[in-house]
Structure 1
C-alpha cells in the first residue's frame, strides 16, 4: 500500500518542508536561473524540481541537495537556511527599495476633495 509522505507528516514539519522549498525557489530566482535549467543541471525532471520548490516531503534529500548545487554550486544547506548567499541579499535589497511614482495632475485632481 502506497503512503504519501504528506499524509503521515505532522503539520509543523509539513510547514518546514514548504519553507525549504520557498527558500530554494527564492534562491533560484535571485540567481536568475530558470527552473527547467536548474532541473537539467541537477539531473532531475522539471516535475521533481517543481515538487522540491513546493515543499513536497516525498522528495529525497539527495535530490534537494543536487538541486541546490545546480542553482548555487558550492552552497550548503546551512547557507540556504541562514540566507548567506549574496544573491539573496541583493534580491531583498531590490525588493525593499522600490520607488513610488509621482501622481499626475489628473490623478491629483481626482484625489482632491
Structure 2
C-alpha cells in the first residue's frame, strides 16, 4: 500500500503554526516570550549537552533549557542566564516529576 509522502513546510508556514499554538496557550506566552526564546536558543548553542547525562558520563544532546530555580518560586530570575541548565527531554521529565512529587527540582540519584 502506498505511503503518504512527507510534508515539507517553509519557514512562513512553520511560524503560522507556532503562532496558532501560542494563541492556544496564552498563559505560557507571558513566560515564554521572544526574549525567553532568544536566550534559550543562545544557551543551547553554548551548552549543547545534557548536564545530568554528562554527570553519568553520557553524551546526550540537550533539547530543553530548564530553570534551576523554577519560575513559580523565583519569577525575577526567569531571564537570568545563571539560572539555566541544558538537559534532554528525558531528564527534564524526571526533574518535573520529582518537583511535583517532592518539591525538589533535580534528578534523583540514579545509576546509568
- Taking structure 2 as the reference length, the TM-score comes to 0.27
Task: Select the structure that is richer in helix.
Answer: 1
Task: Select the structure that is richer in strand.
Answer: 2
Structure with larger RCO (C-alpha < 8 A, sep 6+): 1
